[in-house]
Structure 1
Amino acid sequence: MEYRSSKSKEKQSFNCGKVRLKQERRQVQINIGMMSPQGVDLKPRRGKTLPLFTDPEIAAPVLLERAVQKMRAFNKDMDEGPYILLYPDCSEVVNVPGSEKPFTLAEYKKDLGKAYARITLLFALRNILEEGMIPQTLIRKLSSHLGAQLNSIRLTLWKALGHSSTTQHGQIVISDTEDMGPPKTNTDKTTCYREEMNVTLPAIIANLSQPIDHGRVSRFNISRANVWDGAVRGFKRTSYSENCDMLVKFTDDAGVFEEGIDSGGPRREFLSLLMKNLKDRPIFDGPDGHRFLVYNANAVREDEYYLAGKMIAVSVVHGGPGPHFLSEDLVRYLAGQPSFKATVNLITDEEVGKALEEVRSAYSNCVIENAASVDALREMTMRHSTMLQTAGCLRHVASVEEKKGIVSDYLQWYIIGRNSSVIDRFKEGLSALQFLNALQQHPTLLAPVLCHSEKRLTALELERLFKPDLSPPGSNRRLGESQTLGYWADYLLDCEESQTAVSLEDVLMFATGLTSLPPSGFEPSPGIEFLDDSPFPMANTCSNTLKLPLLESYNVFKSKMDFGMQNSPGFGCY
């Protein structure tokens, strides 16, 4: 797909096969990790844990094969093997622990009592265990097979020496024979398994996108004049599936159909526009950058909360942007984190905001912390007793400090409690493509995708992002290209300093269809080419290629760049 500065656009015919519908087996996400010797022990390797989508009925040998295959795709230096599949306690995966049932992922999950996304299985080279290279691990492995017999012997020996033990059955760790210390509880969960590994955001998104079938498409016909309307029709279509690729076609303002194969550019532009439209929907309240969900009867009838959640999940996993406008408190709640830090300035309802401020203040010009009168606080709470009682936070106050708790409790009810039903529906939509599970598992990495950030694009980021395709050194053309690269770097600096007609976000949108760096990273990597036959810039947004004109001076370059991007609102086709 091409951006062009000219109003006329070439058209290319598009041949689209019928969307094939087929029944798919449910896929679940677990985590697989790699273990290696560390001293006299066997421990997970840092940065070597990856998500894996698989069938819940999978057996141990097939799971091991897929785990090794997945890990090898991200780590080309892996040994050939053979490998052995291990539980977090370093015992081999054969049966479901504590039973004679052959291992399947579904049975293990059932007995473990954890969500699939919180299950981690590991693997290591078989010869490490079989050749006696790790004494401590061999002992633990032996303990896992002999179980209660060895633990009972160990405990009996310890008690025979006159000691007592509060250790529960199954918690004893067998150590070297010369270590005659008391049996220890396995409280150090980092010995064989660490819950949080060094996983990157692009790697998480890449694994969430694995179920997408690139041989099938879900079609979207979008008018830039009403992006939301076209998006709703596309997402509600009976043939739509988030597991299909997205094929987006735009119509211009005059209604002329822009045909072409969507190789990424139109999809990214559509998702960028969709996230921009989403933040202004009536399902959200709160100031810009701190929006939270609110109940809206019409939106409930239209199932807009579910749709909004799905749109966000699909945008992130399909290579688009995150919303970057949700309240941190809402996102923490979605991620299963209990902390709540909202302040009164998030309340847009003037009457509610004024009432809370009065509760916080004992007198009109005196904040309650500076007041000595509990009576003043009681008076304010009783004045607004109906409002506070509705939220369940009206109570008798015995000290001035309790005003913080009253305000905090009300804010939590106002933002979360009263909207719990629509938040739950939003979460159901957000569960598409396992995105909600990933958010709950990696909140530190994924929460910033949803929340507002003060960080803006920089000229240096864009300069480093776009790699130039240069002519051979010493050629006349290479000299012109090098000069243009200097113009390009200065142009970005002028954009950053608001000395141009466009912003850095506009430049990125022109070249890639996105106004911010996507969580998934760019595929393919953005590049720069050079134009001999046009004074205006062009961009192939499907290949993330920006084409710069070779011009005689910086002033001319700047003028043509501004004009070209300002007059290229849509995609053309080459």
Structure 2
Amino acid sequence: MINACRDDIYGSAKRAFTRRLFDPYKPLGVMFMDLGNNAEGAVDDGGPTREFCRLLMKDIQNRCLFEGPDHSKLLALDSHAISKGDYKLLGKMISICLIHGGVAPHFFAPRLFSLVVGEATEDVDLTEIVDEVFRSQLQKIQDAITIEETREALEEASNSLSLLGSLNIQCRTLEDREIVVQCAAKFYLEGRLNAAMEQFVDGLGCLGLHAAIKANPKHIRYLFLAKEDPLTAQDLIYVFSPHFAEEGSNHRRSEIRTYAWFRDFLLVRKVEKCKWTKVNALLCKRFLPLLLGWKSCPHWDSKTSQSLNSYILTANSLKPTHVM
């Protein structure tokens, strides 16, 4: 059982997952506690677990152990976190959220995913480096147009390069400057994070997730990287396959009316293209997470639509909601 506090989801998960008797192979039982330290009272039939995993994944994404844009995160170096094993716990949390709650990260940078898989990484784009001072130093070396300018830039960056083991690289031609930049940048983004990455990959091994990633990297990649395709009206019409109540019943009439209004809403906003971006953001940030535990439409097979066979269970803080 996980007793979750909404104002400290990560702490609640950490207490539960590091408990000596915690078994990740058993179903999760989640009970949210309100501000008065009272249980919300919702019966866990997937709803509370899914919501807990969604909130935990969002908290993981924003933690200081990751750095970079929201949609393209890399591991950040924290030597104290390495000594405590926090990177392993981070990987374990992601595995549990994905497998038990069906909540995918969708925030890994392509470089981070390649490192997890064990693939060769591409050359570094300097925009990947979060440290502005170090990035500007490398950019100055890269932009030098003469050997003299290159050597001046190398001298200015000597303290940083010496820590990364790149200061002794001989720079006799302009082509050599790119070797210096790439060696320093790759060690900054990858080499110095070896200990943290080993822990992180070890944590992703929970429930066999890392083995599945290595065996099927192309098919699992979409779960970890940000989605490139924007949400469309047709996506939402297709992904929901409504199951109506018995024909002739009052529930059936109410549901058909609600479904017609839902489709009208999507079609009108599709025509008013200037408003669709706002609708897209509203659906992804408010309604899909509330109703289904999604922050975006999940991946689905092109020949198979998804369906919901019942009303969504609600906590006692939510009103009953029609769901198509």
Q: Return the TM-score normalized by structure 1.
A: 0.49
What residue is the counterpart of 1:465 in the other structure? 239
Cα deviation 1:186-211 (Å, max 9, x = unaligned): xxxxxxxxxxxxxxxxxxxxxxxxxx
Counterparts in 2 of 1:445 and 1:225: CA distance versus 1, 3 Å: same
What residue is the counterpart of 2:198 in the other structure? 424
- Equivalent of residue 47 in structure 2, options 253, 262, 265: 265
Q: CA deviation at 1:245?
A: 0.8
Counterparts in 2 of 1:358 and 1:281: CA distance versus 1, 3 Å: same
Q: Does 1:381 align with 2:154?
A: yes
What residue is the counterpart of 1:77 in the other structure? none
Counterparts in 2 of 1:350 and 1:228: CA distance versus 1, 3 Å: same
Q: CA deviation at 1:344?
A: 1.3
Q: CA deviation at 1:482?
A: 3.4
Contact 1:360 1:407 in 2 (8 A): yes
What residue is the counterpart of 2:312 in the other structure? 539
Q: Distance in 1 between matches of 2:314 and 2:75?
A: 33
Q: Does 1:340 align with 2:122?
A: yes
Q: CA deviation at 1:382?
A: 3.0
Cα deviation 1:439-459 (Å, max 9, x = unaligned): 112111222212223334333
Q: Does 1:330 align with 2:103?
A: no
Q: Distance in 2 between matches of 1:224 and 1:526?
A: 29
- Equivalent of residue 392 in structure 1, options 161, 165, 168: 165
- Equivalence map 1:68-87=2 (5 Å): none
Counterparts in 2 of 1:282 and 1:472: CA distance versus 1, 3 Å: closer
What residue is the counterpart of 1:515 in the other structure? 295
- Equivalent of residue 224 in structure 2, options 437, 450, 461: 450
More strand by share: 1
Letter in 2 for 1:281: R
- Equivalent of residue 22 in structure 2, options 240, 262, 269: 240
What residue is the counterpart of 1:503 in the other structure? 283
What residue is the counterpart of 1:293 in the other structure? 75
Q: CA deviation at 1:252?
A: 2.2
Secondary structure in 1 aligned to 2:197?
A: helix
Counterparts in 2 of 1:274 and 1:474: CA distance versus 1, 3 Å: closer
Percent identity between matched residues is 28
Q: CA deviation at 1:284?
A: 1.5
Secondary structure in 2 aligned to 1:453?
A: coil
Q: CA deviation at 1:464?
A: 2.1
Contact 2:255 2:322 in 1 (8 A): no
Q: CA deviation at 1:396?
A: 1.4
Q: Distance in 1 between matches of 2:109 and 2:48?
A: 29
Q: Does 1:284 align with 2:66?
A: yes
Contact 2:87 2:197 in 1 (8 A): yes
Cα deviation 1:451-498 (Å, max 9, x = unaligned): 223334333223222222235668887565433222112334548442
- Equivalence map 1:241-256=2 (5 Å): 241-256=23-38
Q: Distance in 1 between matches of 2:104 and 2:233?
A: 21
Counterparts in 2 of 1:492 and 1:303: CA distance versus 1, 3 Å: farther
Q: Does 1:310 align with 2:101?
A: no
Q: Distance in 2 between matches of 1:427 and 1:519?
A: 24
Which ranges in structure 1 are unaligned for 5 or more consecutive residues? 1-218, 363-370, 530-537, 550-574
Task: Find the structure with the greater CA-based Rg.
Answer: 1
Cα deviation 1:395-430 (Å, max 9, x = unaligned): 112322232222222121111111111111111101
Contact 2:81 2:87 in 1 (8 A): yes
Q: Distance in 1 between matches of 2:63 and 2:164?
A: 25
Q: CA deviation at 1:540?
A: 2.4
Contact 2:141 2:177 in 1 (8 A): yes
Q: In the comparison of the two structures, how many residue pairs are matched?
A: 309
Counterparts in 2 of 1:291 and 1:481: CA distance versus 1, 3 Å: closer
Secondary structure in 2 aligned to 1:516?
A: coil
Q: Distance in 2 between matches of 1:286 and 1:497?
A: 24
TM-align CA RMSD: 3.0
